[in-house]
Amino acid sequence: MSRHGQFKWMFGIVILLSAVAIFISHKQWQEKSLQREQAEEHAKELWLAQGSTNPHNAAHYGTFAFKPQFPLSLIDPGVEKYTGVSVFLEAHSRNEADNVAAADQTGLSRFGDLTPDFILLFIIPLMIIALGHQSVTREKEQGTIRIIKTQGISSKQLIWGKWLGNFIPIAVLTTALFTLAAVFIGEFNWKLLVSMWLIYLVYFAIINGITLIVSSLTSNSGISLVTLLAIWIGSCLALPKVASSYVNEKYPYPTRQEFESAVAEDKRKGLDGHDPWSEASKLLEKETLESYQVKKLEDLPFNFDAFRMQKGEEHEAEIYIKHNEKLKEVHKKQTKVYQNLAFLSPFLPTRFMSMAIANTDYATHWNFTDVAEKHRVEMQRILNGNFAKNSKLGDWNYKADASLLSEIPDFQFETPAFEEVISANMGNLMILGAWLFVSFGFLFLASTRI
Amino acid sequence: MLNLNIRHEIKLLSRNYWFISLTIVLAALCLYSGHNGLKHFERRQVDQKQAIENHQEKEQLLQEVALAVSKGEEHSLSFRLSPTNVAIFTGQLATMPADAISKLAIGQSDLYTHQMKIAANEDLATLSFNELNNPVQLLFGNFDLSFVLAYLVPLLIIAFTYNLRSQELESGRLKLLASSPINTNLWLLQRFIIRFLTLAFILLFTIVGTIFWVGIGISGELYVFLLLTFSYLAFWFAISYLANILGYSSARNAVSLLSLWILLVLIVPTIINQAANTVYPMPSRVTLLNEIREIKSELSKKQDQVLDEYLRNHPELIRKEGENAFGYWQGYFASQEIMEETLSPLIGKFDLQLSKQQKWVNSWGFLSPTVLFQYGATQLAGTSSLNYNDFKDYIKSFSLTWRAHFMPFVFDNKSLDINDIDNLPVFEYRKSLNFSSVFINISVLLIISVLLAASGLILEGKRQIIQLS
């Protein structure tokens, strides 16, 4: 094979593309990482620079939660391009993650980026097909299959030999690509990198199996190639798009406008921390007076304005949870469809597993926005608590000591542990395993038919 | 000979199981993708209608209140007539209506929003135009007609035509024909033309069928879309013709045509895109966030100066002497304007970088016919990033109009009356269509196709000379 001109060319091109992809991704990754670190520090400085201020003013001033860049996003940026990277944390509202990179790019960005995952998911499978489609058909066409058989080599041995012969260079290439990426990344979790590498090897093993099955069952190289390419286009290009269109039709997300007005509607019905005249406020007033057994709000041991604001905050947080849960329900249904379709294409489970391991999948993003929301609620609790404890009713000019600002903990976003990622993606893993198993099974059957 | 040839070819095709099944596949793909485009369009319509209705309800309420107040009645909601309340809480609705032709190319319409509430307190620097969506869907893209035409139909063309000449050679029929008293080159050329025309006819039939089925009225844009589509397909016809003429084996033709497809459809666009991002990197949005806050807090520290400066720029808002003691909102709007002026060079950097990227893509896009097609198609459909940039610009300029409209009320501390409510500024988006850039794409595609086909013909002519000598 090494003497085959086509093979050398292909190998050369793929290695060049991979090197370029890793190099560029690394450069962009470093830049983004630096920007985010700086922004985080800067945001903290600005937050603290408020000095002695009214806690509720500080709450409105707010701060940002930035999504960290994870090491393996260098190999697979997943959906990062389409999700926001920063959440504005302020009083009264849960903001969506903002600053979507794709919105700052030309329409060409929808064709995809030259990143390592593009090469792993699309180009290497093509290479496997190009290398393997004729491995059996050519023996048939040239009649060498009879000579091989006279040498006492069984069909089974022949097929598995071909399988290995085809797979080893690909495995070497993949390993080289991952090693190169690892060198560039520097610091990362070995478990994650190795499992990602294994996932791709399994993916390639499946494709290699399918290639050899088709090559054994067809009589000429042309038909074998066309069939394999049709399978490749169907499973890597068409099916994901079909899935996304189908999901969009069957379980659509509400528009941002709908979502926001539904939240606003619910908020309007409930307690507004700033509105002492609403029914909900009056009710809260009555209940609080009763439970503290005092007659006037002034007699309460805390500032009722701040207390009402905290109650309003809690109520609003619940509304956000409710609506986001609804959204998550839709998301779950959508994911289910993707998973069901994964039985039709080994591309889908690989795509999802790879993103999940790189922490660049949608679940990680949900997780990030949830943690940011928790942080926001906690921030409000501390600020309102200080306000209620240290001031009197109607005392909106109260200024808390500057140290209050540093009581707010730093925003921390930890990725789930390796075991959690794997268990959350058990479905995809099983489907990928099933694909491997079935491809080997069919390959065995095909070997009996040469 | 032509007649015989046509009849022969049609008989061949009609008895070719492969040909018929591929035609059915093509029809199914077109119809299914048309269906997806239609559903996407319908949902966009429904969402927009809902948003408009919601907004109308708000406006109606406002009118009721204004009417009651004008009659001198007390109304519990009369505070809604205050200029800041109308400008911020009622706001105005900006919509980007969908064109029927957008059923053909979903483009960027799944990424951006088509309806937006304009409120006077929104900072233009941080407006978000993104639609709520599952990012996995954005990653995978949509199965719409433009995808089928850009990615799949070229493959069908290759599958139909890669071996037209080589098959004759390989089956030995060409030698047989050469011994008969006909011009084999002319015979072959006729076969090509017949095969291409049949295919082109089937494509036209299915595409036009799909277009009618999803319900798109005839318009100039539709004709240009068809022209663009066929110029793009002409490229693939021409390249396949050339591959045939070069005269390698069927297998080699198939491999080289498919490699070309992979290169032009899959790899070149991603390289151009990556290069655009690398050569003209976007400044950091997260850095911008902090810069905005810094400017804001500086401005709030020198609130009095801000108002003075603002009034110097807007002398029309200065009221009688001694009455210029303004409150919170006047200060708010004054610092908002000054903040936006301070920020505009920063924001300008983003727009500049994006337009540079766009230029880069436009000039390098010629390396891939698929990019040319996709760009033209989404532009015609009104779903290209250029259309959305237009929409953003409309929103930004309308926001300024909207704010400016309320400033006299804010500085007069005057509530709106029924007349004022009826005369609020209204947002209108007009799709601007840059036909010239689409025509450039079409011309480039046609020129490349003609060049390819012509070089094929010249090669063919040369071969004849060699054969004769």
- Spatial contact of A234 and A283, defined as CB atoms under 8 Å apart: no
Which tokens go with B340?
């936006």
Q: What is the pLDDT of residues A297-329, one digit of tens each?
A: 888 888 888 888 888 888 888 999 999 999 999
Start-end of H helices in B215-267: 220-246, 250-261
Instruction: Give dist(CA B350, CA B360) in Å, integer.
Output: 15
Task: Name the strand (E) or helix (H) holding B117.
Answer: strand B115-118
Residue A96, judged by CB atoms within 10 A of its CB (0-12, 13-18, 19+), counts as: middle
Neighbouring C-beta atoms of residue B324, cutoff 10 Å: 14
Nearest chain A residue to B159, by CA: A226
Of residues B139, B290, B371, nearest to A42 (C-beta): B290
Q: Name the B residues in 148-207 with CB < 8 Å from any A CB.
A: 151-152, 155, 159, 163
Chain A interface includes B116 (CB < 8 A): yes
Say what the pLDDT of residue B425 is: 93
Chain B neighbors of A88, CB-CB under 8 A: 289
Is the confidence at residue B11, as pLDDT, over 50? yes
Chain A interface includes B102 (CB < 8 A): no
Task: Name the strand (E) or helix (H) holding A89.
Answer: strand A86-89
Chain A neighbors of B51, CB-CB under 8 A: 255, 257-258
Chain A interface includes B358 (CB < 8 A): yes
Mutate to test the interface with A, among B44, B136, B366, B371 (most CBs of A within 10 A): B136
Q: What is the pLDDT of residues A173-187, one digit of tens each?
A: 999 999 999 998 888
Is the confidence at residue A226, as pLDDT, over 70? yes
Instruction: Give dist(CA A217, CA B331) in Å, integer.
Output: 79
Say what the pLDDT of residue A212 is: 94
Q: Residue A109 carries which DSSP code?
A: G
- Spatial contact of B337 and B428, defined as CB atoms under 8 Å apart: no
Instruction: Give dist(CA A446, CA A211) in Å, integer.
Output: 11
Is the confidence at residue A75, as pLDDT, over 70? yes
Distance from CA of B37 to the nearest CA of A (A): 9
Chain B neighbors of A240, CB-CB under 8 A: 140-141
Of residues B51, B111, B274, nearest to A103 (C-beta): B111
End-to-end CA distance of chain A: give it in Å, rounded.
22
Say what the pLDDT of residue B468 is: 44
Say yes or no for a CB contact (<8 Å) between B270 and A252.
no
- Spatial contact of B93 and A260, defined as CB atoms under 8 Å apart: no
Say yes or no for a CB contact (<8 Å) between A38 and B40.
no
Lowest mean pLDDT among A143-147, A228-232, B211-215, B278-282: A143-147
Say what the pLDDT of residue B464 is: 57
Chain B neighbors of A43, CB-CB under 8 A: 289-290, 293
Q: If DSSP codes are grouped into helix, strand and coil, which group holds residue A86?
A: strand
Lowest mean pLDDT among A116-120, A164-168, B172-176, B207-211: B172-176
Of residues B32, B140, B361, nearest to A106 (C-beta): B361
Q: Residue B265 carries which DSSP code?
A: I
- Average pLDDT of chain B is 86
Instruction: Give dist(CA A439, CA A209) in Å, integer.
Output: 6
Say yes or no for a CB contact (<8 Å) between B277 and A113.
yes
Say yes or no for a CB contact (<8 Å) between B358 and A106.
yes
Chain A interface includes B25 (CB < 8 A): no
Instruction: Give dist(CA B284, CA B417) in Å, integer.
Output: 45
Query: Which residue type is seen at A79?
Result: V
Say yes or no for a CB contact (<8 Å) between A123 and B267.
yes
Chain B neighbors of A242, CB-CB under 8 A: 32, 143
Is the confidence at residue B218, as pLDDT, over 50? yes
Residues contacting A376, CB < 8 A, separation 6+: A65, A87, A89, A90, A94
Nearest chain A residue to B272, by CA: A108
Chain A interface includes B270 (CB < 8 A): yes
Which tokens go with B303?
């609130």
Distances (CA, A) of B73 to A76, B66, B83: 65, 10, 19
Please choose, from the candidates B332, B334, B380, B396, the residue with its C-alpha nearest in 3D space to the C-alpha of residue B129: B396
Q: If DSSP codes are grouped into helix, strand and coil, which group holds residue A77?
A: coil
Lowest mean pLDDT among A29-38, A418-427, B166-175, B335-344: B166-175
Please choose, from the candidates A78, A84, A71, A161, the residue with its C-alpha nearest in 3D space to the C-alpha of residue A113: A78
Angle at B386 between CA B381 and CA B388, to 5 degrees: 80
Say what the pLDDT of residue A102 is: 85
Please choose, from the candidates A252, A238, A335, the residue with its C-alpha nearest in 3D space to the C-alpha of residue B40: A252
- Average pLDDT of chain A is 88
For residue A88, which phi and psi values (nearest 5 degrees)? -85, 120
- Mean pLDDT, residues B387-399 taken together: 93
Instruction: Give dist(CA A308, CA A305) in Å, integer.
Output: 5
Distances (CA, A) of B263 to A16, B148, B269: 14, 17, 9
pTM (predicted TM-score): 0.90
Say what the pLDDT of residue A306 is: 85
Lowest mean pLDDT among A430-434, B61-65, B283-287: B283-287
Chain B neighbors of A241, CB-CB under 8 A: 140-143, 147
Mutate to test the interface with A, among B46, B274, B297, B438 (most CBs of A within 10 A): B274
Of residues A81, A86, A247, nearest to B289 (C-beta): A86
Chain A interface includes B76 (CB < 8 A): no
- Spatial contact of B273 and B360, defined as CB atoms under 8 Å apart: no
Dihedral of the CA atoms B208, B212, B217, B218 (nearest 10)?
Answer: 30
Say what the pLDDT of residue B466 is: 46
Of residues B132, B258, B286, nearest to A253 (C-beta): B132
Residues contacting B42, CB < 8 A, separation 6+: none
Chain A neighbors of B282, CB-CB under 8 A: 101, 104-105
pLDDT band at B331 (very low <50, low <70, confident <90, very high): confident
**CB pairs under 8 A, 24+ apart, for B215-219?**
B215/B38, B215/B100, B215/B103, B216/B100, B216/B101, B216/B103, B216/B104, B217/B100, B219/B101
Distance from CA of A164 to the nearest CA of B (A): 24
Distance from CA of B90 to the nearest CA of A (A): 12
Say what the pLDDT of residue B440 is: 92
Chain A interface includes B455 (CB < 8 A): no
Distance from CA of A417 to the nearest CA of B (A): 23
ipTM computed for the complex? 0.91
Chain A interface includes B135 (CB < 8 A): yes
Distances (CA, A) of A45 to A36, A106, A284, B293, B296: 14, 34, 37, 11, 15
Angle at A19 between CA A16 and CA A23, to 5 degrees: 140
Is the confidence at residue B469, as pLDDT, over 70? no
Chain A interface includes B465 (CB < 8 A): no
Distance from CA of A109 to the nearest CA of B (A): 6
For residue B93, which phi and psi values (nearest 5 degrees)? -100, 125
Mutate to test the interface with A, among B58, B92, B130 (most CBs of A within 10 A): B130
Say yes or no for a CB contact (<8 Å) between B116 and A252.
no
Mutate to test the interface with A, among B111, B139, B300, B370 (most CBs of A within 10 A): B139
Nearest chain B residue to A38, by CA: B287
Chain A neighbors of B152, CB-CB under 8 A: 233, 238
Instruction: Give dist(CA B192, CA A41) in Å, integer.
Output: 67
Lowest mean pLDDT among A150-154, A312-316, A416-420: A150-154
Distance from CA of A336 to the nearest CA of B (A): 13
Number of residue pairs across A and B with CB atoms under 8 Å?
Answer: 221
Please choose, from the candidates B163, B92, B84, the residue with its C-alpha nearest in 3D space to the C-alpha of residue B402: B92
Task: Name the strand (E) or helix (H) holding B116.
Answer: strand B115-118
For residue A286, which phi and psi values (nearest 5 degrees)? -60, -50
Q: What is the pLDDT of residues B38-94, one digit of tens each?
A: 999 999 999 999 999 999 999 999 999 999 988 888 888 888 889 988 999 889 999
Chain A interface includes B273 (CB < 8 A): yes
- Mean pLDDT, residues A103-128 taken together: 90
Residue of higher predicted confidence among B63 and A149: B63
Say what the pLDDT of residue B320 is: 59
Say yes or no for a CB contact (<8 Å) between B50 and A39.
no
User: What number of helices (H) and strands (E) belong to chain A?
Assistant: 18, 2
Is the confidence at residue B249, as pLDDT, over 90? no
Say yes or no for a CB contact (<8 Å) between A106 and B385.
yes
Residue A60, judged by CB atoms within 10 A of its CB (0-12, 13-18, 19+), counts as: exposed
Residues contacting A417, CB < 8 A, separation 6+: none
Instruction: Give dist(CA A423, CA B139) in Å, integer.
Output: 24
Percent of chain B with pLDDT over 70: 96
Say yes or no for a CB contact (<8 Å) between A107 and B144.
no
Say what the pLDDT of residue B325 is: 59
> Mind giving me the DSSP string for A142-196?
HTHHHHHHHTT--HHHHHHHHHHHHHHHHHHHHHHHHHHHHHHH-S--HHHHHHH
Chain B neighbors of A61, CB-CB under 8 A: 297
- Mean pLDDT, residues A259-287 taken together: 80
Chain A neighbors of B268, CB-CB under 8 A: none
Q: What is the pLDDT of residues B135-191, one digit of tens each?
A: 999 999 999 999 999 999 998 888 888 877 777 777 777 778 778 777 777 777 888
Chain A interface includes B256 (CB < 8 A): no
Which tokens go with B110?
């799944």
